[in-house]
Amino acid sequence: MVKITTVKTKPYTDQKPGTSGLRKRVTVFQQNQHYAENFIQSIISVIEPAERQAATLVVGGDGRFFMKDAIQLIVQIAAANGINHLVIGQNGIMSTPAVSCVIRKIKAVGGIILTASHNPGGPNGDFGIKYNISSGGPAPEGITNKIFDISKNLQEYLICPELKVDLSKIGKQTFEVDTFKPFTVEIVDSVEAYAEMLRGIFDFAALKELLSGPNHINVRLDAMHGVVGPYVKKIVCEELGSPANSAVNCVPQEDFGGHHPDPNLTYAADLVNTMKGGEYDFGAAFDGDGDRNMVLGKHGFFVNPSDSVAVIAANITGIPYFQKTGVKGLARSMPTSGALDNVAKALKMQLYETPTGWKFFGNLMDAGKLSLCGEESFGTGSDHIREKDGLWAVLAWLSILATRKQSVEEIMKDHWQKFGRNFFTRYDYEEVDSDAANKMIKDLETTMFDASFVGKKFSSGDKTYEVAVADNFAYTDPVDGSVSKNQGLRIIFSDGSRIIFRLSGTGSAGATIRLYIDSYEKDPQKIYQDPQVMLAPLVDIALKVSQLQEKTGRTGPTICVFIDAMSCTWKNQLVLSATVISPTDQGLRKRSIHWRNL
Ligand code: VG1
Ligand code: CO
C-alpha cells in the first residue's frame, strides 16, 4: 500500500501560464521549495475530484533537463489526488503533437507536457509545464486562469513520496494507493500512435516513392537534438525509406547540444549552410517539442512560415485527409502575414484571425469551422489534432512536392505569381527591462489612440504610408463568445501593410518585445525584390513611432527572425546584407551591401 502525504507549502504569485504553459528558468523550479509540486497540484486541482477516479492523463516531454524529475513528481501527485491512470511516453519522451494525438485517441481527460519548446535547455536553461485538455489542445484561458488562481492560494499539496516508476519499461505498472482504486501507470512507445495517425492522413505510398523511389529527391531533416528525432527516424527513414543520414541530430539531449532548439535561419544555421551546398532538394528543422517547423528548398531557399501555411492551403486537396473531411475553414494568428487571407479569398474559404497561441484555434476546430491554420512563428497544423505539428507540416510539403513534381522554389514562386506576395519579418528584442518594455507599449498605445493618429502619414525614403486603423487587437471567440483583449498593438495602413507590436508570453526572464511587419505586393515585377529592401521603410517607421530604441536602450533586435539567411546580429546591432545585381558596361555586376542599425 502506497501512503499519501499532505505537505504544507506556501503559494507562489508568479505561476501564471503564458502563451503556452508555465515557463521559467530551471533554477526557478529547482531552487524554490515545492515550486514544481505547487504547479502540478494546481493543474490536477482543476480536475473535479469525482472525475479523477475514472481519469486518464497523458504525460510526456521534450527530453530536456529536469523533465524526468518533473514526471516522477507528476506520478506521485497524480496518485495522491486519486487520478486513476497515467499514460507516459517511454523515457518520458513524447512530442507535443504526439501528446495531443494520444489524448484524443484514448479519450484522456487531458495531458501534461514538460517542455519549454524552443527555449534553450540544460541546468541553466528553461523548463516548462503545460496542461492540455480532453480535446488534445492547450487549456483555454478560462482553465489557465483557474490554475493560476489555485496556485496563488495553495496551502498544501498531496503526494505519494515513495512511489517510483520505471520510465524505460514499456507496459503497465499498478500501485495500491490508500483509499483509492488501484493506480496504474502505463509506459507506451513514444512514436507508435502518432505514426499510425499520420498513415491515415497522408498517402504514404506516394511519399515513399518521392523519398526512395527511382526518381527520389534528397531531403535533410534536422531534429536539433529535440524530441522529434525518434519520430523522424521511425517515420521518414525507416518507413518512408529516406536514407539514415538524411536525418541529423536525432537523439534528444537534455541541453539540445547546447543550442537553441529553434528552427529559424539563425539557430538552424547548420541546416541552412548544408542546404546551400545544393546536395539536398528539401530541408526542414523542428523545435525542441516538435510542434514547429522550418521548410527550406534547394540551395537554402527559405519558405516564410506565413507563406508555408498559405501554400498548403492552396494545395490542400492533394492530401487524402482533406479529401475525406473537406476544407472547413482557415485561420492564422493576428501577427501572421496575410498570405493565407489571399488564398482564402481566391478559393472562397472562410478565414479566422485569432490572437497569438495555438489555444485559440481549438474551439474553431471542435466546432467544425477550421481545417488548417498557422502562425508566423513556424507553427503549422490542422484539425487532425489540437497542437501545431512540425512533422505533419513537413509531410504536407512533401505531399505537395510529390503531386506537383516541382521544386520548393518553383512552388513558392508560382504561388506568389498567383496570389501576390506578403513580405514579412519579425524583430525580437529579448530580455528587455520589463518596466521599460511595458512603458514603451503603453506610450505607443497613447500615441496610437490619439484622435489625430488615424489618417496620419508616415514617410521613409520614397515611401509614404497613411494610417487606416490603429488598435489593440481584441478577439471574440465565435464559438463561446469569450473575449481576449490586449493581444497586440496594430497599425494598419491604407494599402494593407501592417506594423504590430506585442509582448511575448513565453519568455522566462524580463520582457521580449516582438515587432512584426507585413506588406503585400501583387505587382509581378516586384514580388522577387529583396524583402529587406521592401520592408526597410516600415521598419524605420515602426522604430520612429514607437521610439523603441530610445525607450529600451536597444539599438538593434536580439534576433531578426526571418528576412533571409543574411541577417544577423553583431555587437548587439542588426546587420542586414543584401545582394544587389546592377547592369554595367561589362555586364551584370553582383555586389553585396551591408547596413547596420536601420
Ligand atoms: C510564441 C509565438 C507563438 C507560439 C508560442 C508557442 O509566443 O509567438 O506564435 O504559439 O510561442 O510556441 P509568444 O507569446 O512568445 O510570442 V511553442 O513552439 O512554444 O509551443
Ligand atoms: Co514548440
Question: pLDDT confidence of 555, banded at 50, 70, 90?
Answer: confident
- Angle (nearest 5°) at CA 358 between 355 and 359: 85
Task: Provide the pLDDT for residue 562.
Answer: 59
- Angle (nearest 5°) at CA 441 between 509 and 576: 75
Cell of 427: 524583430
Minimum CA distance residue for ligand 1 atom 11: 506
Instruction: Identify which ligand lies nearest to the alpha carbon of 62.
Output: 2
Q: Give the separation between CA 96 and CA 389, rounded to whole angstroms.
A: 8
Is 80 exceeded by the pLDDT of residue 575? no
Higher pLDDT pick, 20 / 344: 344
Task: Provide the pLDDT for residue 587.
Answer: 45
Is there a contact between 271 and 285 (Cβ–Cβ < 8 Å)?
A: yes
**Span from the CA of 247 to the centroid of ligand 2 (angstroms):** 19
Instruction: Identify which ligand lies nearest to the alpha carbon of 514.
Output: 1
pLDDT in tens, 393-422: 999 999 999 999 999 999 999 999 999 999
Task: Provide the pLDDT for residue 265.
Answer: 86
pLDDT in tens, 436-472: 999 999 999 999 999 999 999 999 988 999 999 999 9
Mean pLDDT is lowest, of 14-23, 38-47, 294-303, for 14-23
pLDDT in tens, 314-343: 999 999 999 999 999 999 999 999 999 999
45, 95, 117, 399: the catalytic one is 117
Domains in the chain, please, with CATH?
A: 5-190 (3.40.120.10), 194-419 (3.40.120.10), 421-597 (3.30.310.50)
| Ligand 1 atom at minimal distance to the Cα of residue 387 | 20
Mean pLDDT is lowest, of 54-68, 143-157, 488-502, 569-583, for 569-583
Cell of 55: 481519469
Question: pLDDT confidence of 225, banded at 50, 70, 90?
Answer: very high
Higher pLDDT pick, 588 / 598: 588
Is 50 exceeded by the pLDDT of residue 344? yes
Mean pLDDT of the chain: 92
Cell of 521: 505586393
Higher pLDDT pick, 571 / 267: 267
Minimum CA distance residue for ligand 1 atom 3: 357
**Span from the CA of 92 to the centroid of ligand 2 (angstroms):** 17
Task: Provide the pLDDT for residue 180.
Answer: 78
pLDDT in tens, 71-97: 999 999 999 999 999 999 999 999 999
Query: Does residue 384's CB lie within 6 angstroms of at least one atom of ligand 1?
Result: no
| Ligand 1 atom at minimal distance to the Cα of residue 376 | 9
Task: Provide the pLDDT for residue 577.
Answer: 46
Which of the 8 DSSP states describes residue 3? P
User: CB neighbours (10 Å) of residue 38?
Assistant: 24
Is 50 exceeded by the pLDDT of residue 510? yes
Task: Provide the pLDDT for residue 18.
Answer: 87
Q: From 175, 189, 190, 155, select the one nearest 83 (Cα to Cα).
A: 175
Provide the 3-class DSSP secondary structure of residue 574.
strand
Q: Which residue has the cell 554595367?
A: 584
Non-local CB neighbours of 498 within 8 Å, separated by 6+ positions:
338, 490, 491, 492, 516, 517, 518, 519
Query: Does residue 490's CB lie within 6 angstroms of at least one atom of ligand 1?
Result: no
- Choice from 95, 130, 377 to test ligand 1 binding pocket (greatest atom count within 8 A of CB): 377
| Ligand 1 atom at minimal distance to the Cα of residue 292 | 18
pLDDT in tens, 26-56: 999 999 999 999 999 999 999 999 999 999 9
pTM: 0.92
Phi/psi for 91 (5° steps) reads 55, 20
Task: Provide the pLDDT for residue 415.
Answer: 97
Query: Does residue 333's CB lie within 6 angstroms of at least one atom of ligand 1?
Result: yes
**Span from the CA of 541 to the centroid of ligand 2 (angstroms):** 31
- Choice from 332, 333, 356 to test ligand 1 binding pocket (greatest atom count within 8 A of CB): 356
**Span from the CA of 372 to the centroid of ligand 2 (angstroms):** 18
Q: Over pLDDT 90: what percentage of the chain?
A: 86
Active site residue 117: yes
Higher pLDDT pick, 231 / 531: 231
Instruction: Identify which ligand lies nearest to the alpha carbon of 361.
Output: 1
Query: Does residue 115's CB lie within 6 angstroms of at least one atom of ligand 1?
Result: no
Q: Give the separation between CA 254 and CA 292, rounded to whole angstroms.
A: 18
